[in-house]
Structure 1
Amino acid sequence: MVLSKRERIIFAVTLVCVGLLIISEFVVDPVLARLDEMETQRQQLQDELEEAQFLLANHGAMQRKWRALVSDGLRSDAEAESKVLTALREWSGNAGLALSSIKPDRIASDKGLQEMIFTVAGKGTLESVSRFLWQIETAALPVKVRDIQLGSGSESEGTMSLQLHLSALYLGTPERSSDAKQPEVDYGYDI
């Protein structure tokens, strides 16, 4: 079978197109995909390197800050309970919030830092609740609000109810047994 000049040109162009398609599909596209993957990995490693350099540069300052936190922090469960209860009473008095109950609850942990949860309930105006929460959030004690519930009280008096769970961290010896949970004591009082 003899091909005409035109058919040979069409055949050659077709072979070149199929060859380019095969090269593109099996060589160029995988190489480009791998280059994109390597660029993403390079950027991720660059970000990690910058973060590590930042941490190394601030190591001394962070060590001093950590030592200050540990030395000023709460060392035992009794100290944590006492200081947080005192602070809650002071904060509620400053804010004008009437606390109806405070219930501490120790959480067993086998790690170095221990956690104590305080369930706090009270009533007051929106302003007193916001001042009370502001004092908790800006406190020097290692405490944070885990969750909060606000309810409407009497509309004529403009009061609202507040219930929150406050988490306090303290250094302590880890408890050896999960059965060693302290009994819950209600330190409720009325102002």
Structure 2
Amino acid sequence: MKTKTRCGWCLSSDLYRKYHDEEWGTAVYDDTTLFEFLLLETFQAGLSWITILNKRENFRKAFDNFDYQKIANYSEEKIQELLLDAGIIRNKLKVYSAVTNAQNFIKIQEEFGSFSKYIWAFTNGRPIDNKPKTLKDVPATTPLSDAISKDLKKRGFKFVGSTVVYAHMQATGMVNDHIAECWTRT
């Protein structure tokens, strides 16, 4: 049986391979899923993605299945409960930013009809296929992620630097950075 060629970053664990094969780079237009990745990416800032993937189900449970309506209304008591939850990243600023970002996410929905319409407008509603030959060809940021980051920050979002935004774009399929030899391209 021939083995699949994958992007090199996902080879260290079955969880990474599954995420790569089934999610990463697949276009997401659903607001709930877009928020899930936004929350996870903001917690990932400064950490490895595998750390977040390993805790993803803990995050799902702790953050009410990524229900941004609920998260936007978290009480101080709930925030303190999250800060004691060893199953997630207990960074105080990131926990508070999850609430702030959920509130701003809803404001964008109110302004644009959905977060999906807002975020995908940056790519005219279509994924950008960068067609990288190797992992070295995959950038950490782009002028587009710089622009989205700047706009999100202007709207009050936290932990949305250009690197976090670009990772979000990759995760949600706004950009396709699967390397040329990756089986997902065949």
Relative to the length of structure 2, the TM-score reads 0.27
Structure with max Cα Rg: 1
Task: Return the structure number with greater relative CO, CA threshold 8 A, min gap 6.
Answer: 2
Write 1 or 2 for the structure with the bigger share of strand. 1
Relative to the length of structure 1, the TM-score reads 0.26
